[in-house]
Structure 1
């Protein structure tokens, strides 16, 4: 059932005019109906209607969209209508899911697509997310709302800029396109996401990127921590970021650069967890550590590494290997356990034992516990 029927023109006019006034107060509506009805005989050539309501239903009689407009001008073949100041609702399953406004629009005969242009505002009724742009397109049978051109979005959790947004109500998601997209969280701690394509899962409160993305944490206007990954999942409610596929996280305090295949960065708890190989580089002391797994706590600045741990002092070429290692980043003390081996080039020394405690940069490593082996290679020159 279309928004304009294939019947005789006078009946079409009366049908549309009744629709246009049906939801307004009886007195004013009756006046408009009388005025428009008397004018209908004069507008056969241009088909202009003022203060009209247009709607489209599917084969089951459920609304697909309903739009009020100040004016509708039909094409001579009655296939399209240009509308002025449209304001209405878009429906899915007979339920209004979006509210829309614009300066002008176009509706096509089959009603399968609506176009809006000029200061477009589209609001997701359930979540309150608002999309603003230059153009909008609604494809009801595809469950697809497209907004583009100077696109901005606002929501209590997130605001963003992009080139284009594609919203699907059944999936409850908004897909953002652009280079770059910028998205800012509205709650503390503040984050900025930049990428080429972001998927915002409204009900799950997640922002997902399957392409390279950068996440920055702010204190005031200052960037404190920054993460990059080839993919990421940001949980807006839990305030966690899962970085995947070659991730790098640069921390300001403690001053560390962390890299690996996958991280879970908890903003509120100030922790970083990796269940895959991880590398930590301490810039100030020029120390690098690698392990199969790791956990870093910003406060009180302690890192825990397990599995094939290697701690290297790059300045003096010292190396400490173990099964497990705890690193107090603030004091620079390490506590290693399990199959400990410590080597240093000057003087050439190798120590083996179950445990070691000390500082790499000072070469003050003490190996203890059980059987300890010491090998000192004399300088024969």
Structure 2
């Protein structure tokens, strides 16, 4: 169904005698045009309403210009698809396209306003299936209050698709973002972002994300990406503390939990740890890092490396727990310890290992086995105990 055009033009009126348009000043003209071939009705103070004359209207120049115009488009059920007001509209000779200046209005879904829009200029096709807006585009989601700004906007109502291109900036009660392009499917609550993406949560602690492709599943409160993503923890609104990245990522926005997979790594400032693996779950609110696959943790200052099948690091009390094929290596003193489980108190560097413990040191050479061990690798003071045997290894005096 073609768009219905309601226009008010104070510069032209239809002259019934000459069957043409004439210029006038101060005499309002109300036009109702369908498919560019409708009828024109002139009303003025003290004048009778002119009868609609379809045959005369067909002689109108196809290059029609309307000022202060309102365009509406219904769907097959008669529900409004969109309503656009413009300062001026100019139709092309084939009547297939209307170019509008300073457009503003509403985009509808199921007969209800979905977005409020505005721009510097735009184009509206006769079939009503597409609207193009350009220049300082603003689209506001009526329900959520989310706002998207950009250089261009394309609305495809039948596909439930709004595309914002060029210098996209978006604000939402939970998220601030920017990208080269955003494709919004409102019914699915899905936003596909591409190109130079920056996304930042609003609530503390803030999580900032960078990447080239992300999908925002709004109803699920998730951001997902099958491309490399970099994540940063922001303190005091500006200070970058911990950082992370992975070849793929999934982020729960509300709880600020980032799951990084494939070549994942998290670098923390306090304590100074580098955590690497193929599956890391970083919880910014609880200050934890969990690994459900083999993981490596390096304390760079103490030159200590720990590996295990699984691990959990509590960064606030600074305690790490490792499970399965655990190995702790002290590079300074060439010592290492293997066990089934291990608890590492990071500030004191104390290790508590249990299950099939094997401790090795190079100087003096020694190997001790037992069910349990407590000590520190840095000064090679490790006590291995269990059953009736207790072995203490103390480095010789210098």
TM-score range relative to shorter protein: 0.7 to 0.9
User: 2:339 aligned with 1:345, yes or no?
Assistant: no
Equivalent-residue separation in structure 2 for 1:29 and 1:313 (angstroms)? 95
User: 2:192 aligned with 1:175, yes or no?
Assistant: yes
Equivalent-residue separation in structure 2 for 1:356 and 1:59 (angstroms)? 77
CA contact (8 A) 2:229 2:248 kept: yes
Structure 1 residues 144-293: aligned runs within 5 Å = 144-178=161-195, 180-220=196-236, 221-293=238-310
CA contact (8 A) 2:103 2:119 kept: yes
Residue 49 (structure 1) shift: 1.4
Residue 357 (structure 1) shift: 0.2
CA contact (8 A) 1:287 1:311 kept: yes
CA contact (8 A) 2:383 2:390 kept: no
Q: Decide which of 14, 20, 28 is 2:32's aligned counterpart.
A: 14
User: In structure 2, what is the equivalent of residue 139 of structure 1?
Assistant: 156
User: In structure 2, what is the equivalent of residue 69 of structure 1?
Assistant: 86
Q: Between Structure 1 and Structure 2, whose CA radius of gyration is higher?
A: 2
Equivalent-residue separation in structure 1 for 2:123 and 2:264 (angstroms)? 46
Equivalent-residue separation in structure 1 for 2:327 and 2:74 (angstroms)? 67
Structural RMSD (CA): 2.9
Q: Which deviations, in whole Å up to 9, do the C-alpha atoms of 1:273-330 show, x marking residues without a partner?
A: 1111111000011110011110000121000000110111122221111010000000
CA contact (8 A) 1:349 1:375 kept: no
Query: Runs ≥4 in structure 1, deviation > 6 angstroms?
Result: 28-31, 40-43, 373-376
Equivalent-residue separation in structure 2 for 1:99 and 1:256 (angstroms)? 48
Q: Secondary structure, in 3 states, of the residue corresponding to 2:84? A: strand
Q: Secondary structure, in 3 states, of the residue corresponding to 1:14? A: strand
User: In structure 2, what is the equivalent of residue 20 of structure 1?
Assistant: none
Q: Decide which of 344, 347, 352 is 1:327's aligned counterpart.
A: 344
More deviation in 50-59 or 358-367? 50-59
Structure 2 residues not aligned, in runs of 5+: 6-19, 21-30, 36-42, 394-398
User: 2:76 aligned with 1:59, yes or no?
Assistant: yes
Residue 371 (structure 1) shift: 5.3
Equivalent-residue separation in structure 2 for 1:232 and 1:177 (angstroms)? 15
More deviation in 238-247 or 367-376? 367-376
Residue 63 (structure 1) shift: 2.2
Equivalent-residue separation in structure 1 for 2:178 and 2:184 (angstroms)? 15
Distance 1:43 1:149, change over 3 A: farther
User: 2:113 aligned with 1:100, yes or no?
Assistant: no
Distance 1:174 1:218, change over 3 A: same
User: In structure 2, what is the equivalent of residue 3 of structure 1?
Assistant: 3
Distance 1:29 1:154, change over 3 A: farther
CA contact (8 A) 1:193 1:213 kept: yes
Residue 240 (structure 1) shift: 1.2
Distance 1:83 1:42, change over 3 A: farther
Equivalent-residue separation in structure 2 for 1:254 and 1:106 (angstroms)? 57
Equivalent-residue separation in structure 2 for 1:126 and 1:370 (angstroms)? 68
CA contact (8 A) 1:322 1:338 kept: yes
- Aligned residue-pair number: 358
User: In structure 2, what is the equivalent of residue 295 of structure 1?
Assistant: 312
Residue 206 (structure 1) shift: 1.6
User: 2:323 aligned with 1:311, yes or no?
Assistant: no
Q: Secondary structure, in 3 states, of the residue corresponding to 1:2? A: coil
Name whichever structure is richer in helix by fraction.
1
